[in-house]
Structure 1
Amino acid sequence: MIPLTTIKAANATLSTRLPSPVCVFLGGTTGIGFYTLKQLVASTVSPKVYYIGRTPSNAEIVQKTLEEINPKGTYIFVQCDILLIKNVDKACEEILKKEKEINLLWLSAGLLRSGFPDTAEGLNFMAAISYFSHIKFIINLLPLLKTSTTNNHFTRVIRVLGGGLEKELDPNDLDMRKATFIKSRQHHVTSTTVTFDYLAKGNPEISFVHAFPGFVKTEGQTFPGMISLAVRALMWVGGSWLCVSDEESGERNLFYATSEIYPASKRAEEVMGLIGGEGKGEGEDVAVGLDGVKGSGCYTVHWDGTAKSGNKVLLEYRETGFRERVWEHTVAVYKGIEERYQKDAGAA
């Protein structure tokens, strides 16, 4: 476990190490994303943040809060219902027109709900919210991330969901339609890590982190049936010691989003030369990637900062080419949606 004191000390260096980052926060208006965003603007000098959300009324609260914390920052609300891929494309177009580079792409938006019908684009509701929309943000904004690396600036993509909790995927259900609520959640987690692993291979200059935030009480946690009763009972009995506090969650996740111990593979040797070495404490040495190699560019991080590696399923997916199959299926889903829109436009 990385001590909170170590994490706070590292975050305190952001004012000199990353004083004016350009960030995109998907999921920054509530919950874990908001807690982390507040810590980010408090720790940097003049950040520029695009925070993406569905509800303007929430954005007003966020805007006021961020301006009070750090009036030197620039905060831009981008309204977007990520349920539809066309909305994601529109939001990204707005950012692409205004920016030349992005240092940090934060992805934490989502819901813990079930029983909803498919989206208007034909996607499973939870798959659209938890997986397809997030990966589309990465694909769309990849040019700005790559420009950041070209300028030798800090660059990271972080998804906060369930890093380290990956299980075997159903190869016959990559659309995530048949799974139960819990299986579906596991599918989103594993698909995210597998896709991050693929992207890290093709973009060795960018660091990819998939983090598990632990138990943090946030909005949007509506579970189905008996699961809801069990979760509420658990929170009532042990919430005070089971849950990570808002402040600690913000500090820890800011660390995972900005710490040099999770470098892009292309920078691993350089970073190890700067901060590596014997006798380093937890959180002060370069982390091990999911393949078991230090600084390999793709990391699954537990809530306490421990980087997980050696997952047999993930390593098997690398060896058998299933990693590439997941990516190809994901891209095919986006292509199918785009083609349907083009067909509808042509028929109009």
Structure 2
Amino acid sequence: MIPLTTIKAANATLSTRLPSPICVFVGGTTGIGFYTLKQLAASTVSPKIYYIGRTPSNAEVVQKTLEEINPKGTYIFVQCDILLIKNVDKACEEILQKEKEINLLWLSAGMLRSGFPDTAEGLNFMAAISYYGHAKFIINLLPLLKTSAANNHFARVIRVLAGGLEKALDPDDLDMRKAAFIKSRQYHTTITTVAFDCLAKENPEISFVHAFPGFVKTEGQNFLGLMSLVIRTLTWIGGRWLLIPEEESGERNLFYATSEIYPASQKAEEVKNSIGGDGKGEGEDVAVGLDGVKGSGCYTLHWDGTAKSGNKVLLEYRETGFREQVWGHTLAVYTGIEEKYKREAGNA
């Protein structure tokens, strides 16, 4: 476990190490994303942050809060329901028109619900929100991250879902339609890590982090249905022991999003030489990637910062080429959606 004192000390260096980051927060208007966003604003000098969300009323609260925390920052709300890929494309285009590079792409949007019909684009509802929308943000904004890295600036993608808890995918259900609620969440987790592993290989100048945030009370847990009742009951009964406080969650996830110990593979040796390793405590030495190699560029993290590696399923997917097959399927899904819109435009 990385001590909170170590994490706070590292975050305190952001004012000099990353004083004016350009960040995109997908899921920054509530919950864990908002907690982290507040810590980022407090820890940096003049951040520029695009925060994406569905609800303008939530954005008003975020805007006011961030301006009070750090009036030197620039905070831009981009309204977007990530359920539809066309909405993601539109939101990204707005950012691409304004920025030449970004340092951090944060992805935490989502909800704990099931039973909804497929989206208008033909995707499973939960898969669209938990995976396809997020992956499209990465694809669209990858040029800005690559430019940042080319300029020797910080470049990272972090997804907050359930890193380290990966289980086998169903190769006959890569669309993730057939599985029940719990199994589908496992699929979303695994396919995210598989995609990150593939992206880290293709983009060694960028680091990819898939983190499990632990149990944190968020607004997304308040919805109708049995699952919400179970979650709220467990929270009420064991919240004192189970829940991570909001401020600690923000501090820890800011560390995972910005710490030097999770470098891109291309910068691993440089970082190793700069921070060393002898006598270093946990959270001060370069982390082990999911393949068991220090600084390999793709990291799965437990809520306490412990890097997970040696997952047999993920390693097998590398060896057999299934990793590339999964990512190819993802790209084919987006191509299918684009062709659908072209056909509809042609028939209009």
Which band: TM-score by shorter chain? over 0.9
Counterpart in 2 of 1:97?
97
Note if 1:296 corresponds to 2:289: no
Give the letter aligned to residue 296 of structure 1: S
Note if 1:149 corresponds to 2:149: yes
TM-superposition CA deviations, 1:108-128 (whole Å, max 9, x none): 000000111110000000000
Counterpart in 2 of 1:184?
184
Contact 1:112 1:222 in 2 (8 A): no
Counterpart in 1 of 2:31?
31
Q: CA deviation at 1:227?
A: 3.6
- Runs of at least 5 residues in structure 1 that lack an aligned partner in the other structure: none
Note if 1:254 corresponds to 2:254: yes
Q: CA deviation at 1:73?
A: 0.4
Contact 2:221 2:231 in 1 (8 A): no
Q: Distance in 1 between matches of 2:264 and 2:158?
A: 12
Q: Distance in 2 between matches of 1:256 and 1:192?
A: 17
Give the letter aligned to residue 186 of structure 2: Q
Counterpart in 2 of 1:12?
12
SS in 1 for 2:289: coil
Q: 1:60–1:230: structure 2 CA closer, same or farther, 3 Å change rule?
A: closer
Matches within 5 A, 1:50-61: 50-61=50-61
Q: Distance in 1 between matches of 2:162 and 2:211?
A: 6
Give the letter aligned to residue 301 of structure 2: V
Q: Distance in 1 between matches of 2:255 and 2:195?
A: 22
Q: Distance in 1 between matches of 2:198 and 2:164?
A: 16
TM-superposition CA deviations, 1:52-95 (whole Å, max 9, x none): 00011111110010000000000000000100000000000000
Q: Distance in 2 between matches of 1:223 and 1:183?
A: 20
SS in 2 for 1:153: coil
Q: CA deviation at 1:236?
A: 1.6
Counterpart in 2 of 1:269?
269
The more displaced of 253-262 and 232-241 is 232-241
Q: Distance in 2 between matches of 1:72 and 1:237?
A: 41
Matches within 5 A, 1:33-112: 33-112=33-112
Counterpart in 1 of 2:215?
215
Q: Distance in 1 between matches of 2:157 and 2:26?
A: 11
Q: RMSD of the TM alignment (CA)? A: 1.0
Contact 2:167 2:190 in 1 (8 A): yes
Contact 1:268 1:296 in 2 (8 A): yes
Q: Distance in 2 between matches of 1:240 and 1:21?
A: 35
TM-superposition CA deviations, 1:170-206 (whole Å, max 9, x none): 0000001000000000000000000000000000000
Counterpart in 1 of 2:115?
115
The more displaced of 18-27 and 218-227 is 218-227
Q: Distance in 2 between matches of 1:112 and 1:263?
A: 31
Contact 1:114 1:126 in 2 (8 A): yes
Q: TM-score, with normalisation over the residues of structure 1?
A: 0.99
Contact 1:25 1:106 in 2 (8 A): yes
Q: CA deviation at 1:222?
A: 5.2
Q: 1:336–1:222: structure 2 CA closer, same or farther, 3 Å change rule?
A: farther
SS in 2 for 1:220: helix
Give the letter aligned to residue 36 of structure 2: T
SS in 2 for 1:174: coil
Q: Distance in 1 between matches of 2:229 and 2:201?
A: 42
TM-superposition CA deviations, 1:109-152 (whole Å, max 9, x none): 00000111110000000000000000000000000000000100
SS in 2 for 1:5: helix
Q: Distance in 1 between matches of 2:202 and 2:7?
A: 30
Contact 2:221 2:232 in 1 (8 A): no
Give the letter aligned to residue 263 of structure 1: P
SS in 2 for 1:152: coil
Counterpart in 2 of 1:204?
204
Note if 1:310 corresponds to 2:306: no
Q: 1:163–1:91: structure 2 CA closer, same or farther, 3 Å change rule?
A: same
Counterpart in 2 of 1:234?
234
Q: CA deviation at 1:268?
A: 0.3
User: Sequence identity of aligned pairs in percent?
Assistant: 85
SS in 1 for 2:20: coil
Q: CA deviation at 1:224?
A: 7.8
Give the letter aligned to residue 129 of structure 2: I
Give the letter aligned to residue 22 of structure 1: I
Contact 1:176 1:184 in 2 (8 A): yes
Counterpart in 2 of 1:332?
332
- Runs of at least 5 residues in structure 2 that lack an aligned partner in the other structure: none
Contact 1:113 1:222 in 2 (8 A): no
Contact 1:114 1:224 in 2 (8 A): no
Report the number of matched residues. 348
Contact 2:289 2:298 in 1 (8 A): yes
TM-superposition CA deviations, 1:215-241 (whole Å, max 9, x none): 001011257855444323221211111
SS in 1 for 2:219: coil
Counterpart in 2 of 1:169?
169
